[in-house]
Structure 1
Amino acid sequence: MFFTPFFKMLLHKKYILYLRVFTSLVINRTFIPMTRRFLWLLTCCIVLLSACDKRMVTADNPPETNNPTTGAPPISDKKVQAGVQGIVTDANNDPLAGARVVCGDQNTITDQYGAFRFQEVNMTEAAAVVTVQKAGYFNGIRTFRVTAPGRDQFVQVQLLPKTTAGTFDATAGGVVAASNAQFIFVPNQVLDAANKPYKGQATLSYAFINPESNDFADIMPGDLRAVNDKNELVALQSFGMMALELQGATGEKLHPDGTNSVTFRMVIPATLRKTAPAVIPLWHFNESTGLWEQEGSAEKMGDSYVGTVKHFSFWNCDAQFPMVNFKAVFKDDKNNPLAYTAIQLTRNNNSSSYGYTDEAGEVSGLVPANEQVTISVKDQCGKIIFSKNAGPWSTDANAGTFNVSIDPDARLALSGKVTTCDGAAVTKGLVNIQVNGVHYETAIQNGNYATSILRCATGAATVVLNPIDETADKMSTSTFQLAPGNYTRDLQACDVIQVSTISLLLEGQTTTFTSPADSVLFTSYRSDTSTVSIYSLSAAQKTPGGLIRINIQLSGIQTGPSVSRYFTVAMNDGTYFSESLNITITRTGIAGEYLEGTFSGNVQKIPGNTTAPVSGSFKVRIE
């Protein structure tokens, strides 16, 4: 008798077609146990009917704001200056060239190795964020704690392709069935960019992020730090994540209305089902803070979690636990820092957290409070080469230095003498090392240098060695193709180091950026087809006031006239100038030499949309 009115409502002609479609997609699927099928159908129909009773969201009735936390996030917003570099790959772990990378107020493009580098960026010390964007992929977002101001930090990001899960009529609503998940949309729930109901076929792009994956640390957004509904900072153990995005028939971006719920069912990874909680908090990812935020919960039904969401983002079914801050230093058996190395911390329940060491071999992050963990070091093939139990810690912990014995097949070891032009030992300086686009450096001590770089036995890499004699202001550049192994390479620093400069006249004021007081950089990358090289000159002032930075993108570095692909000047008051300019290159060369030229034209000032003439010159060392 209790269910009679409910099923009378279901027989209304408005829902007959929907239930037929839903039944064929859900009830007939074999991966829901028979005892749960009715429960899943009943849950979804209740959600559908209750959602349809709600007031329609239109441009005059905007979506609700969904932010369960109150007040500022419980994390320091202190800013520091540090470098950031990393590698971007696709799902096959192949490098992705031409991806846009954003950190702080700077952006760059990955090169042919999928590599990028920011020499100095202003970022949040406790939660710095790097965002990677490329057409056809969901954004890749990495959050990390800066180990120390001025040091190069390292991230690795694997982008997820936007795979079409299915389409549905936005006016009528419908069900989309992905490989391991299903989603229910109610009628008129989807809005366009103007917050008006979208009429037509909507496409759901979906990607599942599996905590069981060996690449989980490189795929997942953030670093598993989160803000719960009590505005507390906690750590998470994931039982499954998903990325969701809606598009219209012509590719325009759509979104749920923020009032009506989208019901989802997501299969729990096989090895996690026994320990998966009966009810688990839901978390969405805040791309601006780099933290997960608690919003709602999901219920375990058979082998799946069932829940509802009101907006699309990265979503996560996670258990939370208390944590403490942790740091440690990792060196090889010759006491060389293990820079940019993957570190894994595993709990007794086999869930793990991850991080990468900085240029000095230091890693900083969070570990479970009052639990013993296993600390592991991974090579670039993902193989564990070191493992040790540590903890428990009840307060913030400095675990000290770990020395790791490295198999010769898992590292590229470089050492040798560095001399001046007359053969004397260099007493003060360093050797810059670039391996397939990733930059390392090691100090010259008593005329010698040595470094150890974790590699994978997958063939030779392009290695560029650049010794610098800081006393004589001289340097040199040598390039090798080297497979993993031990190598002695004696170097000589003979070429005179010249400063890099970019000077411009804008609105009657001349400004000159000069290294090393200012950051003046040359970078290069290739398009997806690896047939077109794009070059960028950029500069940033380290002193307050005046210009913040300038960026010029070139289509080539051959001598002669050309037109810039892009030119922008950003001011510290928020205004900026942008336009393509005439470029004349008067001198070019290889890595270690200098690119020289001039530029001129008119730029648009924003805000205001006024036009201003600009001219200038550059002399920038080619990296």
Structure 2
Amino acid sequence: MSDTNPNPNPEVFTENFGNDINRDFLGEVVDKNNNPIHNATVTLGDQTTLTDANGIFIIRGANIYERFGYVKVEKAGYIHGSRSVVPTNGTNKVKIMLLEETIVGTTASGTSETINLSNGASVALEGEYIKEDGSAYSGSVNVIMHHLDPTDENMRDQMPGMLYAANAQNEERMLQTFGMLAVELRGSNGEDLNLATGSTAEITVPLDATLLDTAPATIPLWYFDEVSGYWKEEGEATLVGNNYVGTVSHFSFWNCDIPAEAVMLCINVIDEEGNALSNLRVIITSENYGSRYGYTNTDGQVCGLVPSNETLTVTVSQYNDLCTGNLYTNTTGPFTSDSEIDILVESNSNGNEWLTETVTGIFTDCDGNAITDGYVKLFKENDYPLDYDFVDNGNFELTTVRCSNSSNIFKLKAEDYVNIQETDTLSFTYTPPITDVGSIAACNAVDEFITYQVDDGGTVTLFNIQGGLDFDSFLSIYYNDNNSFLSLNINNYGEPIIVNTYSDPNVFFSFRDENYASYPDGINTNIEANISLLGELGEYIDINFNGIFIDFNTNIEHSISGTIHVIRDY
């Protein structure tokens, strides 16, 4: 190892981060079982917020650096979590998986003792401790410990910061990890403890068998600085059997890593039409420093640190490998300075035929007012999450990729972050290349509704709807009050109504409100209705519709689109 800088200056190191910028963040905080954590405190720069019931947080216009943003999360019952990112221009999405503050062993001051995990991870304590104020501690000591294995796909969400560090000379480095160990000490009254000055502890970090062939005999140790948001080199560990063993003088997350000189690489992923492809996994692999990955944002961009002067293999795959094989694989680099590249993913690549789907709409409250601070989540038909993003003055746009032979049904759920209102989970049918679902409303006290828009006008929301099936072949949706009515009927002429898309001559649509009136019985209308959910009695019917009508009073043609979410009455 090279000589250590005895007084590394964090202010000098921040010169690597670039200028101040403002960026938007949308994130989720979950536990080890991917359950949302409610009311976790999230801090980014000078802004603080709480997660909602879905574990989601929103921070707009966060003041961060061009090459570094640091998100911190705290919640009683969990050890502190965090994520450091290289921010992008679009929505910066982060996921943080908090680890429980579970006591794995108890010792006492003045007693030497080794605390073990079942997988072989351990910490050997000498028995001398101090409180946060530096005063000596005497009494029982509870030990909280977690081992993070780099072969575990959840490690990326559980680890603090990112694999970015200052080495012993205060130089910028990226890291290839062989494992981490988090150790925290608590006194009998729950107070935070640490090792006394001059006292040390021996940590043992087990290695997965697949890592042994590339594991060096000695490796630098790095601890995570919770104030700065990055790792710092301190000491080294020795490979003993299938474990790294090292000595530390204080507790935090400790990390066994090989460092590499790094540059920032931004990758823009687009399809053949030039559409930005969001929420695709981009894996960067270096022969000498392993793999790391990230997900493209709504602008199709992902940025991160990569080893300099290395040829890199870039692999693009669909979210959670929903298609067989990868959408793109090729080499790029080497890079000696910060760079940005574009990747074109063809619609029939590596044996995969896939489609780009864009979903747009408007998110309102019960009174038809646009939601200004909220988000919309996109799911597969089986409720598997695909993507989520902000609403922008009520408008939302989500883009996803799906296999051409997959179901064309998708679901949406929208959340009003400020007023704590939400929509039901609504089913729709893709109508490529752009599916406009019209307006969806957040009304917690409302079980069913119809929303629609004429041309580019305001959203109209109707409640107290009747809907059902006659003889399985005739579907009727009906609303009427003194000032307006709406009727949508689908006649399948003796064949059962199913989840499908229907149009003329099967669809009969008419409506009237204070501004417009169509002809009765579907005359002079051309409406397409997509049934995406057809429940049993007491369950939901979901339909989105769009088309044109001739106004009865003015004889002018207008466009109309809408959403129906109604409980089946018969």
Specify the TM-score bucket, using the shorter chain as the normaliser.
0.5 to 0.7
Query: Shift of residue 490 of structure 1?
Result: 5.4
Q: State the match for 2:436 in structure 1.
A: 489
1:94 corresponds to which residue? 35
Give runs of aligned pairs for residues 407-422 of structure 1, distance below 5 A: 413-414=358-359
Cα distance, 1:328–1:108 mapped onto 2, change above 3 Å: same
1:365-415, Cα deviation, whole Å (9 max, x unpaired): 211222222223354436674341222323233222333649799986426
1:342-378 alpha-carbon deviations (Å, 9 max, x no partner): 4321222572223333331111221122222222335
Letter of the 2:124 counterpart: I
Does residue 1:462 correspond to 2:462, yes or no? no
Query: Cα distance 1:412–1:249, how it changes in 2: closer, same or farther (>3 A)?
Result: farther
Q: Does 1:117 align with 2:58?
A: yes
- Residues 194 and 401 (structure 1 numbering): CA distance in 2 closer, same or farther, change over 3 Å? same
Counterpart check, 1:241 vs 2:180 = yes
User: Contact 1:238–1:318 (CA<8 Å) still a contact in 2?
Assistant: yes
- TM-fit CA distance, 1:243: 1.3
Q: What displacement does 1:485 show?
A: 5.2
* Counterpart residue identity of residue 224, structure 1: L
Per the alignment, do residues 382 and 353 of structure 1 end up closer, same or farther by CA in structure 2, a change over 3 Å counting? Answer: same
Structure 2 gap ranges (5+): 364-371, 379-386, 417-421, 439-452, 460-570
Judged with a 3 Å threshold, the aligned counterparts in structure 2 of structure 1 residues 404 and 112 are, in CA distance, closer, same or farther, namely farther
The Cα offsets for residues 44-64 of structure 1, whole Å up to 9 and x where unpaired, read as xxxxxxxxxxxxxxxxxxxxx
Which residue does the alignment assign to 1:135? Answer: 76
Q: In the alignment, is residue 262 of structure 1 matched against residue 207 of structure 2?
A: no
Does residue 453 (structure 1) correspond to residue 400 (structure 2)? The answer is: yes
In structure 2, relative to structure 1, the CA distance for the partners of 1:238 and 1:313 (3 Å cut) is: same
* Kept in 2: contact 1:206–1:243 (CA 8 A): yes
Once the two structures are superposed, what CA deviation does each residue of 1:467-519 show, in whole Å capped at 9, x if it has no partner?
A: xxxxxxxxxx99761379557335334339xxxxxxxxxxxxxxxxxxxxxxx
Q: 1:43-54 maps to which residues of 2 (within 5 A)?
A: none
Conserved in 1, the CA contact under 8 Å of 2:220 and 2:237? Answer: yes
Q: 1:402 aligned to 344, 363, 366, which one? A: 344
Scaled by the length of structure 1, what TM-score is found? 0.58
| 1:67/1:255 CA distance change after superposition, 3 Å | farther
* 1:105 matches 2:68: no
Q: Which residue of 1 aligns with 2:121?
A: 181
Asked if the contact 1:234/1:323 (under 8 Å) is kept, the reply is: yes
Which residue does the alignment assign to 1:580? Answer: none
| Residues 14-53 of structure 1 mapped to structure 2, 5 A cutoff | none
After superposition, the C-alpha distances for 1:191-238 in whole angstroms (9 at most, x for unaligned) are 123322222110110111111011222222222111111221111100
Q: Which residue of 2 aligns with 1:351?
A: 290
Deviations 1:553-610 (A, max 9, x none): xxxxxxxxxxxxxxxxxxxxxxxxxxxxxxxxxxxxxxxxxxxxxxxxxxxxxxxxxx
CA positional deviation for 1:68: 5.8
**1:127/1:289 contact within 8 Å kept:** no
Shift of 1:113: 2.2
CA contact (8 A) 1:345 1:376 kept: yes
Say whether the 8 Å CA contact 1:412–1:483 is kept in structure 2: no
Deviation by residue 1:126-146 (Cα, 9 ceiling, x = unmatched): 110011222222222111112
- Deviation digits for residues 105-144 of structure 1, max 9, x if unmatched? 1111122222111121111221100112222222221111
The CA deviation at 1:335 is 3.6
Determine whether 1:214 maps to 2:159: no
Q: 1:434 aligns with which of 370, 376, 390?
A: 376
Q: State how many pairs are aligned.
A: 405
* Shift, 1:303, TM fit: 0.9
Are residues 490 and 387 of structure 1, via their aligned partners in 2, closer, same or farther at CA, if it must alter by over 3 Å?
closer
Cα RMSD (Å) of the superposition? 3.8
Is the CA contact 1:207–1:242 (under 8 Å) kept in the aligned structure 2? yes
For residue 98 of structure 1, give the secondary structure of its aligned residue in structure 2.
Answer: coil
- Alpha-carbon distance between aligned partners in 2 of 1:101 and 1:347, rounded to the nearest angstrom: 33
8 Å CA contact 2:314, 2:332 repeated in 1 = no
User: Tell me, what secondary structure is at the counterpart of 1:260?
Assistant: coil
Instruction: Please give the residue correspondences for 1:586-597 in structure 2 after superposition, counting only pairs within 5 Å.
Output: none
Counterpart of 2:167? 228
C-alpha distance in structure 2 between counterparts of 1:130 and 1:79, whole Å: 16
1:401-440 deviations in Å (ceiling 9; x for gaps) = 333649799986426899xxxxxxxxxxx99961169324
Instruction: Report the AA paired with residue 495 of structure 1.
Output: G
**Cα distance 1:124–1:393, how it changes in 2: closer, same or farther (>3 A)?**
same
Given the superposition, is the C-alpha separation of residues 67 and 379 from structure 1 closer, same or farther in structure 2, using an over 3 Å criterion? farther
CA contact (8 A) 1:229 1:294 kept: yes
- Inter-partner Cα distance in structure 2 for 1:208 and 1:462: 37
Greater relative contact order (CA < 8 Å, ≥ 6 in sequence): 1
Shift in CA distance, 490/178, structure 1 to aligned 2, threshold 3 Å: closer
1:284 partner letter: Y
Output the TM-score relative to the length of structure 2: 0.63
CA shift in 2, pair 1:98/1:483, >3 Å = farther
Q: Is the 8 A contact 1:431 1:449 kept in 2?
A: no
Q: What is the rounded CA distance, in whole Å, between the counterparts of 1:81 and 1:310 in structure 2?
A: 37
Which secondary structure does the structure 2 equivalent of 1:381 belong to?
A: helix
AA at the equivalent of 1:463: K
Aligned partner of 2:108 in structure 1 is 169
Counterpart residue identity of residue 93, structure 1: N
Q: Which runs of 5+ in 1 are unaligned?
A: 1-65, 419-429, 467-476, 497-623
What is the rounded CA distance, in whole Å, between the counterparts of 1:394 and 1:338 in structure 2? 24
CA contact (8 A) 2:26 2:390 kept: no
Residue pair 2:103, 2:145 contacting (<8 A) in 1 also: yes
SS at match of 1:271: helix
Alpha-carbon distance in structure 2 between the residues aligned to 1:434 and 1:334 = 25
Partner amino acid for 1:128? Answer: G
Counterpart position of 1:201: 140
Deviations 1:529-555 (A, max 9, x none): xxxxxxxxxxxxxxxxxxxxxxxxxxx
User: Are the counterparts in 1 of residues 272 and 344 from structure 2 also a CA contact under 8 Å?
Assistant: no
Assess, with a 3 A threshold, how the Cα gap between structure 1 residues 290 and 386 changes in structure 2: closer, same or farther. Answer: farther
Deviation at 1:258, TM superposition (A): 3.8
In 1, Cα distance between the equivalents of 2:79 and 2:346?
36
Q: 1:442 to 1:382 in 2, by over 3 A?
A: farther
> Displacement of 1:102 after TM fit?
1.0
Structure 1 residues 456-476: Cα deviation after superposition (integer angstroms, max 9, x where no partner): 99996433499xxxxxxxxxx
1: CA distance between counterparts of 2:347 and 2:415?
Answer: 25
Q: Are residues 417 and 126 of structure 1, via their aligned partners in 2, closer, same or farther at CA, if it must alter by over 3 Å?
A: closer
How far apart are the structure 2 equivalents of 1:342 and 1:241?
24
| Contact kept in structure 2, 1:154 and 1:357, CA below 8 Å | no
Cα shift readout 1:48-103 (whole Å, capped 9, x = no counterpart): xxxxxxxxxxxxxxxxxx97634621513521111111122221223222222111
Q: Is the 8 A contact 1:237 1:320 kept in 2?
A: yes
Q: CA deviation at 1:286?
A: 1.6
CA distance in 1, matches of 2:32, 2:64: 28
C-alpha distance in 1 between matches for 2:199 and 2:415:
59
User: Aligned to 2:135, what secondary structure does the other structure show?
Assistant: coil
Offset at residue 450 of structure 1 (A): 6.9
Q: Give the match's secondary structure for 1:75.
A: helix
Counterpart-to-counterpart distance in 2, 1:76 and 1:165? 38
Q: Distance in 2 between matches of 1:485 and 1:438?
A: 17
Structure 2 partner of 1:312 = 251
Equivalents in 2 of 1:359, 1:70: separation in Å? 36
